[in-house]
Amino acid sequence: MKIVSTNIGARKVIDWKGTIVTTGIFKFPVDTPVFLDTQEVQGDEISDRENHGGMLQAIYGYSEKHYDFFKPLYPNLEWQFGMFGENLTLDDLEETTIHSGDTFKVGGAVLEATVQRDPCYKLGVRFNDMKIVKQFWNTTFCGVYFKVLQTGTVAVGDVFIQIKSCPENPTIADLYAARRVDKSE
C-alpha cells in the first residue's frame, strides 16, 4: 500500500434541507506532508469527536480502487481524493485482508489498524445524495481507521510496510459486516 493523496478539511457549516450541519467531511488533497498525531491529523477538522478522531480513530484511510466503484454511480460529481472523508488515500487498501491489530510503518509514523468506518448521513451530505450511505453499507469498501502508535509525518509516495500481523483477529471487512447486521436489526 502506498499513499497517493494526503487530505485535510476545514470546518464547514451548511444548510442541509433546512438543518444546519457542521462537518469536517469535506476533505481536499494537500501538496505538503501531514503530521499524524495521536488523536488526529494536525490541521484537519473533526467536528464530531464522539464518532471520529481519538485514539482508535485518529487516521482514516481509504482505497483509490474503491473510487472506481462509486464514480459511475455519481458521474456529475467533481471527484477528488478525500471525497469519502479520508485523511489518507491509498493505492490499494483491502479491508478483506487487513486485520484489526495489524501494524504498519509509514513515513515517520507507526499505525495500527483498529476498526471500520461506519457511514453516517454526512457522507450523504458530502455526495449531495443520501443513496450513497446505503450503497456504501452494501460493500466491503468501508476504509480503515488507524491508531497512531508513533506520531510522525507522512507524504504522498510513502509506502505502508507491515511490521506486525494479527491473523487471529477479525479483518476490517468482518468487523464491518457485523456492524451492517447490527444496523439491520
- Percentage, residues of the chain above pLDDT 70: 94
Structural domain including 76 reads: 3-184
Cell of residue 65, nine digits: 480502487
Three-state secondary-structure class, residue 173: helix
* pTM of the entire predicted model: 0.92
182 pLDDT tier (thresholds 50, 70, 90)? low
Q: Is the pLDDT of residue 30 over 60?
A: yes
The structural domain count of the chain equals 1
How crowded is residue 56: how many other Cβ atoms within 10 Å of its Cβ? 12
CATH number at residue 30: 2.40.33.20
Local structure of residue 118 (DSSP, 8 states)? P
pLDDT in the model for residue 184: 44
Q: Encode pLDDT of 118-146 as tens digits.
A: 998 889 999 989 999 999 999 999 999 99
Q: Is the pLDDT of residue 185 over 50?
A: no
